[in-house]
Chain A
Amino acid sequence: MRPTALIAEDEPILAEALSLQLQQLWPDLQVLTPAMDGDEVVERALKEQPDILFMDIRMPGRNGLDAAEAITDAWPVDAPLPLLVFVTAYDEHAMAAFERHAVDYVLKPVQTERLAATCQRLQRMIAQRAPSPNAAGQGGLVAAREPEQASLDALRALLEAEQDADTDADTDSPPAPAAEPTRLRVLQVAVGSALKFVPIESVHYFEAADKYVRAVTAEGRQVPGAELLLRTPLRELIGSLDPEQFWQIHRGIVVNIAAIDKVTRINGRLRVHIRGQDDTLEVSRMFSQRFRAM
């Protein structure tokens, strides 16, 4: 079967040029009609399931990194993840992050030699994974292919780097020195006119909701109107939680592992069951590598 590639690029001339260049360098590659923004690429990628994604960083709708995350999360469990190549004109933060995490990227204007090298690498990777298409589904709960795991790790690191860059830009302050972070022991939450003190161990999980972060505890669920809403963004909160105790399982969810009853696979996706509660939480593919049997 011919490999397919989907280009995400909002500038029509560039999209067309990249697709032409690709066809010349790799005649066997089937280049799909380019997606013109971040939302379209997510939708099209999930529907058309290309082998390779060429992703612009700055796009209308979602940016390239967010789109890549959304695609990874919603990707069918039994299919190999698409190979990601980022395309950018100039993005200091992103370029530095790509270098650090050895993610494939090309710079605009796209130089033919550079693109040729990328194509060769992609061809090798596709050839490598071709013989065992059904490696998934065997083994334990998570059977992540080695190269795939590496690219997931890289993508997660990129998203974190992007958030750091955003925080830096917002505060205009130099990056904070890497001091030992102070661990939160008690949450102080405004509930009505009172300030409630909640020991951190009693929190089952944190869930990002629009402007707030909701802290869910055993009692909180049963008393309507007594929701614990924090104004601290989740990514700031994560920094002051014990990473051994609280695991991030989704972009918007951090779970206290003491509150986890079991993890099951439902429709191919991992779900976390919280002790004493009926509903389950989805584990994003990006964070699934920690759930393995001992």
Chain B
Amino acid sequence: MSSPMRSPLSAAGGWQDYPRELTMYGSIPQTGRVHGLWSVAVGLFLWLVRWLDGQQQGPAGSALLVTLMHTLCLGYWCWLLVGMAWLNVVRRRWQIVPDARERYDDSGVYGLLSWPLLLVTGLLCVPLATALGLFTANSAMQAVPASWLQGVSKPSWGLSLVLALSLALGTFTIDWLRVRLMAQQRRAEAAQRQALEAQLQRLQAQLEPHMLFNTLANLHALIGAHPGRAQDMLQRLIAFLRSTLQASLRTEHPLGQEFARAEDYLALMAIRMGPRLHTEVHLPEDLGDVRVPPLIVQPLLENAIHHGLEPSRKGGRLSLTARREGQQLCIEVLDTGQGLLASAKAPRREGGGVGLQNIRDRLRSTYGSRAELRLEHGPEGSGTLASLHLPLHR
């Protein structure tokens, strides 16, 4: 591919990821199986109807042979001609249609076909297939001894045309259903895998090794010197780990639980950072039962501590509050740390920015456009105010 015109890498779908299913080697054999079975089924059905009706002429075996021969030949040509026409068109449309890939993923070959095209192939390919099918069937019949075929009538032109049309329609309808079913299965599997990945990712983010080992180091230090405080800290850690594990398995939980978890986390951080961290948590009683996505507040707390308070020598205050604003729930995380500007200047550590993006993605998938995350400078000119605005009712 030396000419840039012929290597449309910039087109919707490049050739390197052109699905095999859309080539002669992928789709045609698949559809071929459907066509064979369907043609045989129709042939048997026709023969049975005639036989029951008493219209049968000649011996039953010969009639069946002739009927099957005709349905198979007609079906074969319909399948071959229509299939080739479609694949050629699809190959061209792959470069033109911008969402070719999505359409293909959704309903295979059929996602890339248009109604006018279906009509044209129906009008052109089916009559042609009828002519070729009749010719093939008649040629094949020459090989059969004439005595076998005595008294058996061959299908007329008109009947053959109708037969061909219904064979084509049947074959491709069944194939369409097959493709749709497969796509649905694939989508379901992908969704399941994504959910699992998201869950693992959240779990990993929560149990950040640096946090875990530092907390354990504090416990290790406290056990000898201050067993009482160590016990208290251990209880907080256990509650934090348990609720993190539980929350990562759910899609929503009460705000009260979210805040309880946040309190455990903040208590752990307060022990670690000593006098450098002061925390405040306020949840109005009537909001405790509002359902929220689990662990949605956690990344905001971590950001406030990692980027706002931990880098600051004198530390500061972190407050977590929830309140009602009309039909909305507003959750605020305010810190008096070094603020957005300073933390943007600092070199990013691993995972920088992932937390906020993660929250936005989850808000979008849960509430659509009815929820948002805002980041502002703190009201007193220092620190950062992060706020979540969620609808109170789904």
**Which positions in A face B, CB cutoff 8 Å?**
10-14, 16-17, 20, 36-37, 39-40, 58, 60-61, 89-91, 107-110, 166, 169-170
CB contacts (< 8 Å) of A109 on chain B: these are 213, 216-217, 219-221
Contact (Cβ within 8 A) A13 B271: yes
Contact (Cβ within 8 A) B348 A37: no
Known: A109-B213, A166-B347. A17 touches B311 (CB 8 A): no
Contact (Cβ within 8 A) B210 A89: yes
Question: Of A13, A58, A91, which is within 8 A of B221 by CB?
Answer: A13
Identify which of A13, A61, A169, A170 gathers the most chain B CB atoms within 10 Å of its CB. A13
Contact (Cβ within 8 A) A11 B213: no
19 A-B pairs (CB sep. < 8 Å)? A10-B273, A14-B217, A16-B225, A36-B313, A39-B313, A40-B313, A61-B311, A61-B313, A89-B209, A89-B210, A90-B212, A90-B213, A90-B214, A108-B213, A108-B216, A109-B213, A110-B217, A169-B349, A169-B352
B interface bracket (residues with beta carbon within 8 Å of A): 20 to 34
CB contacts (< 8 Å) of A91 on chain B: these are 210
Assembly CA distance A107 to B347 (angstroms): 24
CB contacts (< 8 Å) of B313 on chain A: these are 36-37, 39-40, 60-61
User: Nearest 4 CB-CB pairs, A to B?
Assistant: A17-B221, A109-B220, A108-B217, A89-B213
Q: With an 8 A cutoff between CB atoms, is B350 at the interface?
A: yes
Q: With an 8 A cutoff between CB atoms, is B84 at the interface?
A: no
Task: Report B261 CB to chain A, min CB distance, Å.
Answer: 22
CB contacts (< 8 Å) of B310 on chain A: these are 10, 58, 60
Task: Report B348 CB to chain A, min CB distance, Å.
Answer: 6
Contact (Cβ within 8 A) A13 B218: yes
Task: Report A247 CB to chain B, min CB distance, Å.
Answer: 25
Contact (Cβ within 8 A) B209 A90: yes
Q: Is the interface of B mostly helix, strand, loop or mixed?
A: helix
Known: A61-B311, A166-B347. A13 touches B214 (CB 8 A): no
Task: Report A78 CB to chain B, min CB distance, Å.
Answer: 31
B:199-234 near A, CB below 8 Å = 209-210, 212-214, 216-222, 224-225
The chain B residue sitting closest to A56, CB to CB, is: B214
Q: With an 8 A cutoff between CB atoms, is B278 at the interface?
A: no
Contact (Cβ within 8 A) B214 A108: yes
Task: Report A172 CB to chain B, min CB distance, Å.
Answer: 10
Question: Of A17, A36, A89, which is within 8 A of B225 by CB?
Answer: A17
Contact (Cβ within 8 A) B225 A169: no
CB contacts (< 8 Å) of B349 on chain A: these are 169
Assembly CA distance A108 to B276 (angstroms): 21
Assembly CA distance A108 to B220 (angstroms): 9
CB contacts (< 8 Å) of B225 on chain A: these are 16-17, 20
CB contacts (< 8 Å) of A13 on chain B: these are 218, 221-222, 271-272, 274
CB contacts (< 8 Å) of B222 on chain A: these are 13
CB contacts (< 8 Å) of B272 on chain A: these are 11, 13-14
Contact (Cβ within 8 A) B217 A89: yes
Task: Report A123 CB to chain B, min CB distance, Å.
Answer: 24
Q: With an 8 A cutoff between CB atoms, is B312 at the interface?
A: yes
Assembly CA distance A239 to B92 (angstroms): 47
Contact (Cβ within 8 A) B217 A169: no
B:308-352 near A, CB below 8 Å = 310-313, 347-350, 352
Contact (Cβ within 8 A) B347 A17: no
CB contacts (< 8 Å) of B213 on chain A: these are 89-90, 107-109
Assembly CA distance A36 to B310 (angstroms): 11
Task: Report B338 CB to chain A, min CB distance, Å.
Answer: 9
CB contacts (< 8 Å) of B312 on chain A: these are 60
The chain B residue sitting closest to A93, CB to CB, is: B350
The chain B residue sitting closest to A38, CB to CB, is: B313
Assembly CA distance A58 to B217 (angstroms): 14
Question: Of A11, A16, A40, A169, which is within 8 A of B350 by CB?
Answer: A169
Assembly CA distance A169 to B218 (angstroms): 29
Assembly CA distance A36 to B274 (angstroms): 11
Question: Of A16, A39, A40, A58, which is within 8 A of B210 by CB?
Answer: A58
Assembly CA distance A255 to B220 (angstroms): 49
Assembly CA distance A263 to B270 (angstroms): 52
CB contacts (< 8 Å) of A11 on chain B: these are 214, 217-218, 272-274
The chain A residue sitting closest to B311, CB to CB, is: A60
Task: Report B316 CB to chain A, min CB distance, Å.
Answer: 11
Assembly CA distance A110 to B216 (angstroms): 10
Assembly CA distance A10 to B306 (angstroms): 13
Assembly CA distance A60 to B338 (angstroms): 11
Task: Report A231 CB to chain B, min CB distance, Å.
Answer: 16
Assembly CA distance A73 to B271 (angstroms): 35
CB contacts (< 8 Å) of B275 on chain A: these are 12
Assembly CA distance A89 to B215 (angstroms): 9
Q: Knowing that A89-B209, A90-B214, A166-B347 touch, tell me 11 more A-B residue pairs with CB under 8 angstroms.
A: A10-B273, A11-B217, A11-B272, A11-B274, A14-B272, A60-B311, A89-B213, A90-B210, A110-B217, A169-B348, A169-B349
Task: Report B355 CB to chain A, min CB distance, Å.
Answer: 14
Identify which of A36, A60, A166 gathers the most chain B CB atoms within 10 Å of its CB. A60
Assembly CA distance A16 to B222 (angstroms): 10
Contact (Cβ within 8 A) A89 B214: yes
CB contacts (< 8 Å) of A37 on chain B: these are 313
CB contacts (< 8 Å) of B209 on chain A: these are 89-90
CB contacts (< 8 Å) of A39 on chain B: these are 313
Contact (Cβ within 8 A) A170 B220: no
The chain A residue sitting closest to B212, CB to CB, is: A90
Assembly CA distance A163 to B346 (angstroms): 13
Contact (Cβ within 8 A) A170 B218: no
Contact (Cβ within 8 A) A166 B220: no
Task: Report B222 CB to chain A, min CB distance, Å.
Answer: 6
Question: Of B210, B221, B224, B347, which is within 8 A of A14 by CB?
Answer: B221
Assembly CA distance A1 to B110 (angstroms): 87
CB contacts (< 8 Å) of B276 on chain A: these are 10
The chain B residue sitting closest to A21, CB to CB, is: B221
CB contacts (< 8 Å) of A107 on chain B: these are 213
The chain B residue sitting closest to A63, CB to CB, is: B347
The chain B residue sitting closest to A165, CB to CB, is: B350
Task: Report A125 CB to chain B, min CB distance, Å.
Answer: 26
Assembly CA distance A11 to B220 (angstroms): 13
